[in-house]
């Protein structure tokens, strides 16, 4: 047996593997135990996370759980690693969007709609929005926020961006995204401009397929690129790629795997010197065409620094190591990405409270509570019933017909949600329509609702409709105009609320007689429900939580 230890080549390969691993970001659950994982297809077990972090993996993206669980989770993850980690989350609408107990803010497009009326106030609110998100993220152990969305949502049929965008035109989207960046990064938390070079004008979802953006370079310069330019000028620490095809720039590879997009356009033309991170490589737009090793190598070769959610982390590491050893990726190129990662970590300079209790006690400030409420109030739209103050008529046997994407794992509709309790107190029995189910549709395009399947009485129609990943639709293709006309013809429409997509509200509001109480909120969270229903005359129910605080 040799007593000399590992050969230099073996040690060199081990070091190389750790260096490569530090550029991966893997997915974990915000919940503590493996049995609580909501998406086990993508969320690694604790044993897998511990092994990968011990082997040098340098980043984790988290989803789900409470604020307290998140802080415990981030502390544990860092203890399993032998280096500082990049720990991130998709908290585009505030930390409370993903982790209960923190602030859940209205979607960014709500601020964008305000920008048309009061640009200065909108920019100020966008900066406060970023500060709130960054401060709460830092207290809970996140040092990287995967926002702002810099896509220009100029396509109402966009199934995945929709209200996640800050604007429907480049000037608005850019000004507000840049303000968010400044607010967030002032708290010592990295921001991320996404999805480069622009996912706003697509009618398909890259979680499900590869969209094509058929625009010219001139059009990209005029519409898609300006918000990214403004975010870069604001000092954004990272940019996330988009899984979409741009034939004007690259006829072969999607943006995530394209050197003309990442190296030539983003690095050289726009002058971005920070971290470039891929969108999740488990998305169908990539996995339909490439295995995990191939995808990671192509993305890195194209100019990405960080590999987010590879379909197989070990395969991605092996593929990158082999490509470097074979000379297809230079050591200098690897060192550049490692240096960018270190520079980004150095920007996360503000410390979090030492204990979980301290983090939670000061998590949501009075100012942040006021911000959340103000954002909802400023974004509400409603029409009042003449002579009745906009009140929804009470009923002993009404129907509260609620449309959701899915009844499972639906954080906007907990048991104490105002959209459930307030109509119930007025005599409306809840009936949930699952957007993924055909019931209670009749199959008749002119009268799509099978009224005989519903209880008798007046109907309060509440639509939770917006663009979301994996749905493939933002609700605009559903027959809600026909449903509204059908209920009006039957004399059964008592009121209407739309939470989420402004485009659905714009379709339906002109169909309503002035006597029908109706309203719209971009937000779907309980606070938005409470404040909108209040405008329609439904006050807080006895069992309801403090959603108007």
Catalytic residue ranges: 207, 279
Q: Where are the alpha helices (DSSP H) in 383-441?
A: 418-425
In which residue are the tokens 């982790």 written? 99
Angle between helical axes of 119-139 and 108-115 (0-180°, round to 10): 160
* Cβ within 8 Å of residue 101, ≥6 positions away: 66, 67, 68, 360, 363, 364
Cα separation, 528 vs 97, in Å, equals 13
Question: Is residue 98 a contact partner of residue 91, using CB atoms and an 8 Å limit?
Answer: yes
**Comparing C-alpha atoms, which of 452, 457, 453, 447 is closest to residue 426?**
457
φ, ψ for residue 391, nearest 5 deg: -75, 135
**Comparing C-alpha atoms, which of 25, 29, 148 is closest to residue 92?**
148
**Comparing C-alpha atoms, which of 285, 162, 300 is closest to residue 212?**
285
Question: Is residue 142 a contact partner of residue 90, using CB atoms and an 8 Å limit?
Answer: no
Question: Is residue 532 a contact partner of residue 382, using CB atoms and an 8 Å limit?
Answer: yes
DSSP state, residue 306: B
**Comparing C-alpha atoms, which of 337, 376, 245, 252 is closest to residue 25?**
337
Provide the edge-to-edge strand list for the sheet that holds 86-89.
144-145, 86-89, 59-63, 24-29, 307-308
Phi and psi based region of residue 235 (left: phi greater than 0; alpha: psi -120 to 50; beta: remaining): left
How many residues comprise the chain?
549
What DSSP string runs through 430-485?
EEEEETTS-TTB-S-SSS-B-GGGSPSS-EEEEEEE---TTTS--STTS-HHHHHH
Question: Is residue 187 a contact partner of residue 131, using CB atoms and an 8 Å limit?
Answer: yes
Cα separation, 31 vs 53, in Å, equals 18
Let me know if 149 is exposed, middle or buried by CB neighbors in 10 A (0-12, 13-18, 19+): buried
In which residue are the tokens 């029908």 written? 516
Cα separation, 245 vs 257, in Å, equals 10
What DSSP string runs through 85-148?
-EEEE--BTBGGGTSBTB--PPPHHHHHHHHTT-HHHHHHHHHHHHHHHHHHHHHTT--EE---
Question: Is residue 459 a contact partner of residue 487, using CB atoms and an 8 Å limit?
Answer: yes
Cα separation, 371 vs 136, in Å, equals 14
């Amino acid at each position: 047996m040799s007593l000399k230890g590992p050969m230099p080549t073996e040690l060199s390969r081990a070091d190389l593997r750790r260096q490569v691993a530090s550029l991966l970001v893997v997915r974990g659950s915000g919940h503590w135990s493996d049995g609580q994982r909501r998406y086990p297809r993508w969320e690694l077990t604790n044993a897998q996370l511990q092994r990968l972090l011990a082997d040098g993996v340098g980043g984790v993206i988290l989803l789900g759980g409470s604020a307290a669980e998140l802080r415990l989770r981030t502390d544990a993850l860092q203890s399993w690693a032998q280096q500082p980690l990049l720990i991130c989350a998709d908290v585009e609408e505030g930390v409370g969007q993903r982790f209960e107990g923190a602030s859940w803010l209205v979607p960014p497009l709500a601020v964008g709609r305000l920008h048309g009326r009061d640009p200065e106030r909108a920019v100020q609110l966008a900066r406060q929005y970023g500060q709130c998100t960054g401060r709460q993220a830092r207290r809970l152990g996140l040092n990287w926020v995967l926002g702002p969305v810099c896509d220009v949502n100029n396509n109402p049929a966009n199934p995945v961006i929709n209200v996640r965008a800050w604007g429907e035109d480049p000037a608005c989207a850019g000004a507000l995204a840049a303000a968010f960046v400044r607010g967030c990064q002032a708290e010592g938390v990295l921001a991320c401009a996404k999805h480069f070079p622009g996912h706003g004008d697509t009618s398909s979802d890259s979680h499900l397929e590869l969209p094509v953006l058929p625009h010219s370079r001139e059009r990209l310069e005029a519409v898609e690129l300006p918000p990214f330019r403004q975010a870069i000028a604001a000092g954004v620490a990272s940019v996330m790629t988009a899984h979409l095809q741009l034939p004007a720039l690259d006829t072969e590879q999607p943006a995530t795997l394209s050197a003309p997009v990442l190296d030539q356009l983003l690095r050289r033309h726009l002058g971005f010197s920070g971290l470039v991170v891929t969108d999740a490589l488990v998305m169908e737009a990539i996995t339909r065409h490439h295995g995990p090793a191939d995808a990671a190598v192509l993305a890195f070769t194209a100019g990405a620094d960080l590999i987010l959610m590879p379909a197989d982390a070990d395969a991605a590491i092996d593929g990158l190591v082999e490509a470097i050893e074979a000379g297809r990726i230079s050591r200098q190129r690897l060192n550049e990405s490692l240096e960018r990662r270190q520079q980004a970590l150095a920007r996360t300079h503000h410390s979090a409270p030492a204990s979980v209790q301290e983090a939670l006690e000061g998590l949501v400030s009075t100012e942040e509570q006021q911000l959340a409420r103000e954002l909802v109030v400023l974004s509400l739209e409603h029409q009042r019933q003449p002579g009745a103050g906009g009140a929804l008529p009470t009923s002993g046997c009404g129907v509260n017909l609620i449309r959701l994407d899915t009844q499972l794992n639906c954080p906007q509709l907990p048991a104490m949600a105002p959209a459930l309790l307030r109509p119930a107190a007025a005599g409306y029995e809840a009936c949930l329509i699952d957007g993924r189910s055909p019931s209670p549709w009749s199959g008749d395009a002119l009268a799509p609702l099978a009224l005989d399947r519903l209880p008798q009485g007046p109907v309060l129609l509440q639509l939770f409709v917006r663009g979301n990943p994996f749905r493939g639709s933002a609700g605009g293709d559903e027959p809600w105009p026909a449903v509204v006309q059908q209920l009006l013809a039957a004399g059964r429409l008592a009121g209407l609320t739309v939470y989420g997509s402004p485009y659905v509200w714009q379709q339906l509001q002109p169909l309503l007689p002035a006597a029908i109480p109706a309203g719209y909120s971009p937000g779907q969270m309980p606070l938005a429900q409470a404040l909108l229903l209040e405008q329609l005359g439904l006050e807080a129910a006895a069992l309801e939580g403090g959603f108007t605080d």
